[in-house]
Amino acid sequence: MRALLFSMTKFSGAGTARGAIFLLCFCGLLAASSPAQVPSKAPVADEASSAERGISLAGKGRCREALPVLKKAAAHLTDKQLKYRAVMATARCAMSLDQTETTVEALLVLNREFPHDPDVLYSTTHFYSELASRAAQELAATAPTSHQAEQLEAEAFESQQNWDRAMAEYRKILEQEPKLSGIHYRVGRIFLSKSPPEVDSAKAEFDEELKIDPDNASAEFMLGEIARQAGQWDDAVGHFSRASKLDEGFQEAYLALGMSLNLAGKFSEAIGPLQSYIKMQPGDPAGHYQLATAYTRTGHKVEAEREMALQREMSEKNPQGAQAPK
């Protein structure tokens, strides 16, 4: 290298200002072409040690100290078991400090990297339930007379099957917000939940819902169910068809549409929606049974036998769904 620099210095006129400038530029080019020094990563042992310290602090209830340590260390851990413990401790500490965003982020990591783990699923259920409870309390405290707060109360009565109290709350909401979507639908469901069901009243509520929200696939579906149970196949087909078009992921609408078409004797038309259903729910015996029926009645013997075989197979795996709907 010295020889090369010497020869370059001679060539450029060493001792002159021009030669000095040339030499400096050449050395700069050499430096630029040299391999860059890559800063060494923090040793894995340091991250593991930090994680263990954070877990220890969390175990002692010192979450304010533990949380920053855990959040920093967890992202770099390669040991799966240590990461599990660190992220779980992060979720618990964040929950105790009312840090919702950090709690949710930790739960997402746990469910992504440790799917089906019983403790992860238990913690997810418990923490999300607690977060929901906190949000409900905040809503009640900050906006107690809002229709959202009243709807939460109505839904609570509904979950307790206290139909009269729930109905009263929903009626109160409609007095305040007569065009609020979703409320007539819920009232309609309450009428159907009573014993005996008040079908005509329910139907009127679902019709009202569709006047407010013509895109309500659930209201269309419920009207289809009322028609199907009354043996009004054409009305049922119309409602189920609209429900499946309004919400292309509405699985039950495809099954109900196919069943209604079968019952109406329109077997060839039933094949399409039933095929769509079993693509979405391949493990449901009822879907295979209905599709087998449609294939049988349209002369597709091989396809019908295949679907019946699948129906039997799925029935063994899913005894609760084994009984074919009538």
The CATH number given to whatever domain includes residue 84 is: 1.25.40
Are residue 321 and residue 244 in the same domain, yes or no? yes
pLDDT category at 287 given cuts 50, 70, 90 is: very high
- What digits encode the pLDDT tens for the residues 150-193? 999 999 999 999 999 999 999 999 999 999 999 999 999 999 99
Number of neighbours of residue 267 by Cβ within 10 angstroms: 18
Are residue 122 and residue 151 in the same domain, yes or no? no
Residue with tokens 């693509």: 279
- Residue 227: its pLDDT value, please? 97
Crossing angle between the packed helical segments 183-193 and 147-159, to the nearest 10 degrees: 20
pLDDT category at 26 given cuts 50, 70, 90 is: very low
Are residue 157 and residue 126 in the same domain, yes or no? no
Are residue 291 and residue 325 in the same domain, yes or no? yes
Are residue 116 and residue 49 in the same domain, yes or no? yes
Are residue 270 and residue 307 in the same domain, yes or no? yes
Are residue 203 and residue 265 in the same domain, yes or no? no
Answer yes or no: is pLDDT of 22 > 50: no
Per-residue pLDDT averaged across 253-276, rounded?
97
Number of neighbours of residue 288 by Cβ within 10 angstroms: 26
Are residue 99 and residue 175 in the same domain, yes or no? no
Domain annotation covers residue 8: no
Are residue 163 and residue 202 in the same domain, yes or no? yes
CA atoms within 13 A on the CB side of 310: 21
Range in 4-13, 77-86, 251-260 with the lowest mean pLDDT: 4-13
Are residue 150 and residue 118 in the same domain, yes or no? no
Closest by CA position to 219, among listed 200, 249, 242:
242
Domain annotation covers residue 286: yes
Answer yes or no: is pLDDT of 256 > 70: yes
Per-residue pLDDT averaged across 273-293, rounded?
96
The CATH number given to whatever domain includes residue 200 is: 1.25.40.10
Are residue 136 and residue 160 in the same domain, yes or no? no
Domain annotation covers residue 137: yes
The pTM for the full model equals 0.73
The residue from 124, 141, 158 where one domain ends is: 141
The residue from 85, 120, 141 where one domain ends is: 141
Domain annotation covers residue 20: no
- Domain hosting 123: range is 45-141
Are residue 128 and residue 51 in the same domain, yes or no? yes
The residue from 141, 158, 176 where one domain ends is: 141
Give the count of domains, the chain.
Answer: 3
